[in-house]
Amino acid sequence: MDKQTWINNLMATMYLESTKSVDEASMAAKARALATCIRIAFHDRRIRTHRAYEKGKIACYMSLEYLIGKSLKTHLQALGPAEEALVRELVPELYGVEVEDLFRFEPDAGLGNGGLGRLAACFMDAAATKGVPLRGYGLRYEKGMFAQKIEDGFQVEVGDEWLKDGDMWGRRHDDEMVPVHFKDFTLKAIPYDYIVPGYETNNVNRLRLWRAEAMNDFDFQKFNNFDYLGAVSERALAENITRVLYPNDARREGQLLRFMQQYFFAQATLRDLLRQGDLKSMTPADRLNALAIQLNDTHPVIAIPEGIRILMDELGFSFEEALQIAEHVFNYTNHTILQEAMEKWPVAIVEDVCPDTLAVIYRLNDHYARLMRERGLDESAVRKMAIVDKGTIYMAHLGIHVASKVNGVAELHTRILKERELKNFSDLYPDKFMNVTNGVTPRRFLMAANPLLSEAIDDWIGSGWRTDFSELAKLKDLADDEAVIDRFKSIKRQNKVRLAERIEEAFGVLVNPDSIYDIQIKRIHEYKRQLMYGFYIHHLYKEIKADPTRARTPRTCIFGGKSAPGYHRAKGIIKYITELARVINNDPDVGDQLKVVFIENYDVSWAELLVSAADVSEQISTVGKEASGTGNMKFMMNGTVTLGTMDGANIEIFEEAGAENNYVFGSSVEEMEASGYDPVVRCGEDPLAKEAVDSLTDGLLDDGGSFKFLDLRDALMDNKSGPNDEYYILYDLRNYIATQNRIEEDFRDEKSWYRKSFWNMACASKFTADRSIMTYANMIWNVQEQVVR
Ligand SMILES: *Cc1c(COP(=O)(O)O)cnc(C)c1O
């Protein structure tokens, strides 16, 4: 848009957003007005993209989660440098505020749990940037997941009101509503569309999120008969379907609601896709090549039998024809190896929601059982790989049997799937399994998160890296240039100051920008071993207390992450960390030497601030448990060394940047399994292990009478629900602490420290989501890039 159009639009949208004068209008209203202008600016490109994609095969990403974060900054960036500069000049003139000051008034869209949801958002961005015709589909949870409050050191969940001032980016399309039929009733699925503009392209892809509404939102008869609640109850119940991500499933009602979400999502999305092409009139070959669907984990796998059901019941295809289409169209990404995370549904629940789809599931079960028998599998093998067994439906099995391709998300993860967890399936379908290592978008996690470093990279190697991330490798030649490393160091320090300011403002904790920023941010989970990091901090505290005057490199230990509301041990870990913070931050003996910060309500916006200011990236999961990790990649591209185990994508990070430039520790799966490890024996032999366990009950740290610390101790030493110290925390602790001590030593030699950090950035090319998305496009979906003009 030209300058005059921007001026006109900025004023017009301001009048729409606020009844007050521009001077009096709120910052939030100004942010919304700017967002609407940006949407208008992309309007034409969006239409052109739609036209360009109509002609060819498109891919569709189905995910129950999108951890989007804020979009003002990244969308503005996607307009290109010239238009972005124009907007940054006009907004202060017209609105009396800097664009930079408006960013904070945009709500952070957190429609996801963690890595899996953020991956979906990164993939949408990468596809638009690479010109891949990819449509995203998801649910528009009115209250997101939940917002985390820390009260007396405990996590408390409250509703996430991301829509309270309206939806800044979503555009509702009532005219594209689809009906969704359940067993006993029908709902409306209303699409809300979000633009996904590519960087330095004209492609503007689309993310479509569904909202559930009642067919009849008001019952006049009931109202007239004084049943005021009953008159609107249908509406309230319908809207519950897209109220929150992951309703509490501790009771059957919650499980039913969760399954209804999945089914609602599947049917709405399939109806939307099916109305676009007339499948019946296509040749059989064309039908198979009209579309590719990627299922992000098992959450949308119910789309497979639902799709077959629609093709049969509503479009008149035979089961064989419908199955053949499904086997071409669907692909499934596996994100976990933790058995308890493999999704299963009781037949009774599915029957209550969609009995006709259940019938298709049974039919698929018979079909693949027959196929397995034909291929010579015995009855016990057939049973282990069945879709339905003993009244339970195994969603991963359903996905694997039907999907054209099944992928893991990092080399090690895929290898474990093929050689262990899903070996029987990989033997049956050797060509199905493949790896696509995850990636993250540099537009958000480097360009938007770290503008100072991005400018410096432009100066060092030109700006080509912004569209072709492989160019980042040119930085390798500069790693021994002192002026370059000095500038890198000065940028890191400025980012550390920026983070310190935000931490002081948000939590009132003063942190020292010259300390080591040692950061662990991710969902709180036993396998991610935040507790092990906590034990190290406790150990360091004891050392400081024993000798407060010894010269040390000050350290700031930063945690962030939410626990699942019903995951008591994870909540105990949060309390352990916040107790460390309470005791350590208030101890005058410690002073500046050690600070502990727990970032309340860690989200994508915090991630951007944290990864750009980190000195140490904590990636310390028990080997074999973290499928990939993507936080690790965000830190790496910002020039941070990884302190990590040989797990998930850490292995590939070490491979790219060299183990000698990182801090690798911990034993292999084989060593752990062969060790005959007994934590009780270990505590007798290893004072570090004993000190750690004792810290849970010796009274220094106080769990407020919740017995949470005793429960953590039991998990290590006297576990009633599994093996003691299932995640090998005490096993790896000594090695971990030794590695932390090495970090403290090495940090003193600044030149070599920052060279290593810089080197990691120079080696980060592989971890762009652009590489991942091109692998999906070429190896799985077979879709062509489309350059929109
Ligand atoms: C990247 C990201 C994650 C995933 O972090 P891991 O360390 O890979 O588990 C989770 N939450 C948010 C907000 C993120 O940005």
Top pLDDT among 215 and 536 is at 536
Three-class SS of 363-417: HHHHHHHHHHHHCCCCHHHHHHCCCEECCEEEHHHHHHHHCCCEEECCHHHHHHH
DSSP characters for 113-138? Answer: SSHHHHHHHHHHHHHHHHT--EEEEE
Q: Which of 75, 188, 211, 522 is catalytic?
A: 522
pLDDT band at 591 (very low <50, low <70, confident <90, very high): very high
**CA Rg value for the chain:** 27
When pLDDT is cut at 50, 70 and 90, the band that residue 216 belongs to is confident
The token pair that represents 557 in the structure block: 């230990």
Distance 782 CA to ligand 1 centre (A): 29
- Give dist(CA 162, CA 68) in Å, integer: 12
Q: For residue 246, what pLDDT is reported?
A: 78
Per DSSP (E only), the strands in 131-215 are 134-139, 147-151, 154-158, 171-172, 178-181, 186-197, 204-214
Of residues 447, 577, 585, the one with CA closest to residue 515: 585
Catalytic residue among 571, 634, 682, 766: 634
pTM for the model: 0.97
CATH number of the domain located at residue range(s) 56-71+106-438+774-781 in this protein = 3.40.50.2000
The one-letter amino acid at 221: Q
From residue 543, alpha-carbon distances to 525, 538, 591, 741 in Å are 27, 9, 14, 12
What's the pLDDT tens digit per position in 197-208?
Answer: 999 999 999 999
Lowest mean pLDDT among 111-115, 226-230, 243-247, 506-510: 226-230
What pLDDT, on the 0 to 100 scale, is given for residue 55? 84
User: Closest ligand 1 atom, CA of 619?
Assistant: 7
Averaged pLDDT, 316-343: 91
Half-sphere CA count of 3, side-chain side, radius 13 A: 8
Return the CATH number of the domain spanning residue range 442-754+763-767.
3.40.50.2000
User: How much of the chain is helix, strand and coil, in % rounded to 5?
Assistant: 55, 15, 30
Could you confirm whether 528 is annotated as catalytic? yes
Q: Report the alpha-carbon distance of residue 326 to residue 312 in Å, rounded.
A: 12
Residue nearest (by alpha carbon) to ligand 1 atom 5:
631
Pairing label, strands 186-197, 204-214: antiparallel
CB of 410 closer than 8 Å to CB of 336: no
Q: How confident is the model at residue 426 (pLDDT cuts 50, 70, 90)?
A: very high
pLDDT in tens, 5-38: 999 999 999 999 988 888 999 999 999 999 999 9
Q: Are 747 and 553 in contact (CB under 8 A)?
A: yes
- Choice among 208, 489, 528, 555 that is catalytic: 528
Q: List 521's β-bridge partners, or say none.
A: 560
Ligand 1 midpoint to CA 110 (Å): 12
Average pLDDT over residues 234-249: 82
Catalytic residue among 309, 523, 539, 625: 523
- Ligand 1 atom with the smallest distance to the CA of 607 is 15
Long-range residue pairs from 79-82, CB within 8 A, at least 24 positions apart, any chain: 79/38, 79/41, 79/42, 79/197, 80/200
Please identify which of the residues 335, 401, 571, 756 carries the catalytic annotation.
335
Provide, rounded to the nearest whole percent, the portion of the chain with pLDDT above 90.
89
CA of 622 to the centre of ligand 1 (A): 17
Q: Does the annotation mark 523 as catalytic?
A: yes
Atom 4 of ligand 1, nearest CA residue: 115
N residues, the chain? 789
Q: Residue 768: name the closest of 648, 675, 634, 641 by CA.
A: 634
Establish whether 630 is a catalytic residue. yes
**Dist. CA 139 → ligand 1 center (Å):** 20
Residues near 493 by beta carbon (within 8 Å), at least 6 away in sequence: 513, 514
What's the average model confidence in pLDDT over 98-115?
96
**8 A C-beta contact, residue 406 and residue 414:** no
| Cβ atoms of residues 129 and 198 within 8 Å | yes
For the segment 671-709, what is each residue's pLDDT rounded down to a tens digit?
888 889 999 999 999 999 999 999 999 999 999 999 999
Nearest CA to ligand 1 atom 8: 629
Confidence of residue 280 (pLDDT cuts 50, 70, 90): confident
- The lowest-confidence range among 142-151, 283-292, 752-761 is 283-292
pLDDT at 140 over 90: yes
Q: Answer yes or no: 335 catalytic.
A: yes
> Which residue has its alpha carbon closest to ligand 1 atom 9?
522
Checking if the pLDDT of 237 tops 90, the result is: no
pLDDT, averaged across the chain: 95
pLDDT above 80 for 235: no
The packing angle between helices 530-546 and 568-585, to 10°, is 20
- For the segment 227-248, the average pLDDT, to the nearest whole number, is 81
Q: So what's the pLDDT on residue 500?
A: 98
**pLDDT range class, residue 779, cuts 50, 70, 90:** very high
What's the 515 CA to ligand 1 centre distance in angstroms?
Answer: 24
Lowest mean pLDDT among 273-282, 580-589, 678-687: 273-282
Q: Do domains 56-71+106-438+774-781 and 442-754+763-767 have the same CATH topology?
A: yes
User: Could you tell me which of 201, 191, 358, 353 has the C-alpha nearest to residue 276?
Assistant: 191
pLDDT in tens, 45-74: 999 999 999 889 999 999 999 999 999 999
Closest ligand 1 atom number to CA of residue 67: 13
What confidence category does residue 220 fall into, taking pLDDT thresholds of 50, 70 and 90? confident
Q: For residue 771, what are the CA distances in angstroms to 285, 319, 407, 653, 776?
A: 29, 37, 15, 15, 9
pLDDT confidence tier of residue 234, bands split at 50, 70 and 90: confident
520 pLDDT more than 90? yes
The domain ranges of the chain are: 1-55+72-105, 56-71+106-438+774-781, 442-754+763-767
For ligand 1, which residues put their CB under 6 angstroms from it? 67, 114-115, 118, 522-523, 602-604, 607, 629-631, 634
Cα 99 to Cα 30, 92, 104, 165, 328: the distances in Å are 10, 7, 10, 19, 47
* pLDDT at site 586: 97
pLDDT at res. 236: 76
Give the Cα separation of 702 and 69 in Å (integer): 35
pLDDT of residue 232: 72
Sign of CA dihedral 643, 644, 648, 649: positive
